[in-house]
Structure 1
Amino acid sequence: MSALGRFNLQIIDDEKLRILELPYGKTKDLCMYVILPDNSKDLYNVVQSMSYEKLTKWTDPKYMWKKYTKVFLPQFKIDSAYSMKAILSSLGMPDVFNDTKAKLTGISPDNLYVSDLISLATVNGDEDGTKDVTHADDGFFFFDLALPEEIFRADRPFLYIIQHKPTKCYIFYGIFQKP
């Protein structure tokens, strides 16, 4: 996949990585950050040293620069499914999974309980996430017809993070190993 347009970009020299912000999904509420280390061996170090505070600073709009960028990303789709039973039980909801202790009478007078709760997630990295970007920014001028200021080529393993922009909540992350 490739795209050409104005994207928020951050280059962090001391961490030896670059961060690209891409629109994600059908609304402007989500974005995908692609965190690309200088080489694939550094990805492990980036993940190990990452913290919420560090990520928040890296993706802060005041530190990112909107640059005319040619982006090359592999297309990918990742589907995952996992049981939430153990997680929700540990958070204080064990009774809902117990057939003798569950109290779901507001739903049905029968003795209902939840046998399991499965969380499904799909992350799609394709043109649909970026195709509207070049038309959404009205800051294009004549000099934009020149070569892009930056080239962002994800041709090695990278970290991706989905953020809900209005709440600044990071809702999903993953590592793409084989571009």
Structure 2
Amino acid sequence: MMFKEAKFNISYTADFQTKILDLPYVDNETSMIILLPDEIQDNSTGLEQLERELAYEKLIEWINPEMMNYTEVEVFLPRFKLEQAYDLKPILKSKGMADVFDRKKVDYLECQPAMT
């Protein structure tokens, strides 16, 4: 588990009965938005309703810094690792770099700097 007690931007939306936490990373260059629904009386966890009705426009409104309060909170999260892979081949080909993927046209061994 990861635990952190510090001041973070946090808000609450009564429409979805959900707490919204902005957890910054890398000198505030990026952040993770955590949505934590309350329990709802219709036998759902609250997450089902949030998943069904969440829209980009609503999320942008909720995480607007003017709508959030900078407040001392305790955050407990399970430890996890995010990884992402990208297939850049189609993008690079569309930008005119098709030859770099053709072994008949490029010899990468010749492109290496000489070892001294």
Same fold (TM over 0.5): yes
**Which residue pairs with 1:30 in the alignment?**
30
Alignment of 1:70-85 (within 5 A): 70-81=74-85
Aligned: 1:47 with 2:80: no
| C-alpha spacing 1:79/1:103, structure 2 compared with 1 (3 Å) | closer
3-state SS, counterpart of residue 98 of structure 2 = coil
Deviation at 1:104, TM superposition (A): 3.1
Q: CA RMSD in A?
A: 3.2
Q: Which has the larger radius of gyration?
A: 2
Deviation at 1:4, TM superposition (A): 1.2
More helix per residue: 2
Distance 1:13 1:67 in 2: 18
**Deviation string, structure 1 residues 113-132 (Cα, Å, up to 9, x no partner):** xxxxxxxxxxxxxxxxxxxx
Say if 1:104 and 1:111, in contact at 8 Å, map to a contact too. no
Ranges in structure 2 where 5+ consecutive residues have no aligned partner: 107-116
Aligned AA for 1:38?
Answer: D
Identity of aligned residues (%): 32
Aligned AA for 1:5?
Answer: A
Deviation at 1:28, TM superposition (A): 2.0
| C-alpha spacing 1:83/1:43, structure 2 compared with 1 (3 Å) | farther
3-state SS, counterpart of residue 15 of structure 1 = coil
More strand per residue: 1
Q: Which residue, out of 37, 40, 62, partners 1:58?
A: 62
Equivalenced residue count is: 99
| TM-score normalised according to structure 1 size | 0.46
Deviation at 1:7, TM superposition (A): 0.8
**Which residue pairs with 1:171 in the alignment?**
none
Distance 2:82 2:29 in 1: 21
Ranges in structure 1 where 5+ consecutive residues have no aligned partner: 113-179
Distance 2:97 2:78 in 1: 48
Structure 1 outlier segments of 4+, above 6 Å? none
Aligned: 1:67 with 2:68: no
Say if 1:2 and 1:73, in contact at 8 Å, map to a contact too. yes
Q: Which residue, out of 101, 104, 112, partners 2:98?
A: 104
